[in-house]
Chain A
């Protein structure tokens, strides 16, 4: 098996494929690209959260003949941005359902004239009552979407929770909330679009999923497949935030390009990007848990609600992943999860690293500590008594066939952190110190790849070709935005073909060049697409051996000579393969039962946090992350993924608060939406236990999202460990800590302050 064979390149820290270009400042991001005669576009947005558009006026102080103006009436096809449900207009037509919703577009050759012109468009509304919270939406007094405000609901049931409550020794309840979170990729959204009657629409831009944008543009412009081309430019961070929004922005830029007859560039500034684009879904999770006298789980009843914002976008799939991660890495015979995603008049929420899992894992792992307190047992013991093991079944009754080593991950974490000695030290020091220290833990999994039958539906196609110039190209629609797609897929191709890393190039992520190997989301690239590239490489080698006389052992020159012989026979040297599901996979979308994910990555996080009872700041002082992610194909890149995810998770827990005022983000600036800086990130210790996954690219599982799942519960559990106070809602800024801690006796205990 490839997963156990000795490898040359896979497993080594090959340098980042596009690293030199990025370090020399010559990598071209969308805003770095200028085109002759290019115009610039901008957006007129709603200033109210909900209402009917009564009139649109254009101030005469502007010479509008210089501008191109696009409204919904200019859309040649269907005015819908459809990810899953066809509900979101590309441009508002008669009604707005959230603040900062796009109403009309303008373009001009001088970008400095745009702001003035935007301010000279006067829109009159008849306001309708807006709703902004899950609770308002649940009450259904105002129906703002569909018949009932409900984007999606799931009911997942295993066993019968109702049979347990009467006889259980312990029942523990809790409610947990998480706030919106902004991706804050450092490169804002941006697109350049070109239109011609002959070639249709071409867009270049900062995006994750070229074929998602392609699908949208086909419908917006009512064009055949081959008249729309989407090309990813170097992308300065995404984290899910460029999964769906680029479909909207690409449509806008392309509409302006069509009407103006010019190439049009649209680049958001930070304030517009923060106000108008998607964020992580706010959530509320209620737990009711039954346990026996030994602290073994008997029943978990979980009620999950998310705020989806004004349009459906990806809310149903985010809810699905949130649901499937809600019960955590524990064995429980009776589970009921009722999950609902509600419409409000907030800006639509969308994909963000973890995709719902960080929300429900926060709830569960906080709840586990609350259960431990209620039962008077150690939080580690409670977890150990309930961990899933190989041969157990999950809440969806998926049989855990692969090795499952939560105990081992926990042991390693305790050892590496010297957990018990540290806690003993804090127990000695805290009573006489204004700074209270604690350690918190979080245990969790993250399912790799699309949920359930998702990968089979995607039916990804990927492969390799060889140019006459002697370069192998990787043909995928999967994109690089920092996580290492280029590097790791190159390593896989080089490994499979038995040639050098430098002999492989990545084909541009251009729908005119590469097949649809699915979106770059869901921690699927290395596991799923990497496997396709591995297979494509082995398939090409077999063909070269059978048809072009390549020997068992060969030099680089012999390899490329064989490729040319194959080209002489076949006209081209290309190897494409399609996704094949691992055997024995069964998923019931109706009952939410079966193999929810082809594999899971497993992790234990530990955070040491210091809470200052004078300033009410909480600082993460040290962090340990231990995980089993299959085989690690590039240790430096993999470690970087873990560290970066943890930093984002620290922000989610302690820094990042989206402040909404009447449906508009009030702190839409980096000045007052605060992310962790170099001074806020603690030393992070990363440990991998490697168990190759037979059906992943060279044994890999997903890794990208996993590290964002753990920090929030680990940190808030550490705050409880430090202060004895339970916080069940994040983000926890100093003012939030103050609100609960100031009324306690913490300061009185230390009157010497």
Chain B
């Protein structure tokens, strides 16, 4: 039966990969079990907590709700892909400086949500930060240090020229 499972091709953190898996296997489980990328965590298994957040084709998704078949041909990014050459991504560095991570279990998903937020809107307001992170539950921090982290990372992003404002969608 294993041999009859389809091979699903996608890009993970910039690298092409092929996984033979039941098509309805959760992307979360494929990441953790088949690709051994255990940075992505399961908190609830029903799309409520956001711990399993990854980016797929530039959208933030709960990987516990994505059958791997949907990832065919997709570009998938996880927490393991944030740092480059061992250097923390600015949002990771901001979390370290500002106390944005405590127990760390929501952190990978929270970082993906925060990275997505800043990519879309490099200079978010507090209201936009709250909205952008509303799908990611943290039980430790009360979110305030996380908001501070996002603000700190955002201020490192150069102000775009007005005509290039990328958050107009």
Chain A residues in contact with chain B, CB under 8 A? 13, 15-16, 18-29, 31-32, 183-188, 234-239, 269-270, 481-484, 636-637, 639-640, 643-648, 669-671, 675-679, 681, 683-684
Select A269's contact among B45, B78, B82, beta carbons within 8 Å.
B45
With a cutoff of 8 Å between Cβ atoms, the chain B residues found around residue A481 in the complex are 103
Q: How far is the CB of A634 from chain B (nearest CB, A)?
A: 9
| Surface stretch bound by A, among B4-12, B66-74, B93-101, B157-165 | B93-101
Select A23's contact among B44, B88, B145, beta carbons within 8 Å.
B88
> By the criterion CB–CB under 8 Å, are A640 and B137 in contact?
no
Given A20-B88, A186-B137, A186-B139; A237-B101 close (CB under 8 Å): no
Name which of A186, A239, A484 has the most chain B CB atoms within 10 A of its CB: A186
Residue of A nearest to B39 (CB): A25
Given A25-B38, A186-B139, 6 other A-B contacts at CB below 8 A? A32-B38, A186-B41, A640-B102, A648-B142, A669-B48, A670-B137
In the bound complex, what is the Cα–Cα distance between A401 and B74 (angstroms)?
Answer: 66
With a cutoff of 8 Å between Cβ atoms, the chain B residues found around residue A484 in the complex are 102
Q: How far is the CB of B44 from chain A (nearest CB, A)?
A: 4
> By the criterion CB–CB under 8 Å, are A670 and B48 in contact?
yes
Cross-chain pairs A/B with CB under 8 angstroms, 18 sampled:
A16-B96, A20-B88, A23-B107, A25-B40, A186-B103, A236-B41, A237-B102, A640-B144, A643-B144, A644-B140, A647-B143, A669-B48, A670-B43, A670-B48, A671-B46, A678-B138, A678-B147, A681-B142
Select A16's contact among B99, B111, B131, B136, beta carbons within 8 Å.
B99
Residue of B nearest to A672 (CB): B48
Residue of A nearest to B147 (CB): A678
Q: How far is the CB of A16 from chain B (nearest CB, A)?
A: 7
With a cutoff of 8 Å between Cβ atoms, the chain A residues found around residue B63 in the complex are none
Chain B residues in contact with chain A, CB under 8 A? 32, 37-46, 48-49, 51, 78-80, 82-83, 88, 92, 95-99, 101-108, 111, 129-131, 133-134, 136-147
> By the criterion CB–CB under 8 Å, are A26 and B39 in contact?
yes
> By the criterion CB–CB under 8 Å, are B142 and A645 in contact?
yes
Residue of A nearest to B79 (CB): A25
> By the criterion CB–CB under 8 Å, are B98 and A185 in contact?
no
Select B101's contact among A22, A679, A681, beta carbons within 8 Å.
A22
Given A669-B46, A671-B46; A483-B102 close (CB under 8 Å): yes
> By the criterion CB–CB under 8 Å, are B103 and A185 in contact?
yes
With a cutoff of 8 Å between Cβ atoms, the chain B residues found around residue A636 in the complex are 98-99, 145
> By the criterion CB–CB under 8 Å, are A677 and B134 in contact?
yes
Select A239's contact among B38, B104, B139, B141, beta carbons within 8 Å.
B139
Given A670-B48, A679-B134; A24-B144 close (CB under 8 Å): no
In the bound complex, what is the Cα–Cα distance between A620 and B167 (angstroms)?
Answer: 30
In the bound complex, what is the Cα–Cα distance between A676 and B147 (angstroms)?
Answer: 15
With a cutoff of 8 Å between Cβ atoms, the chain A residues found around residue B130 in the complex are 678-679
Given A15-B97, A640-B141, A670-B48; A24-B43 close (CB under 8 Å): no
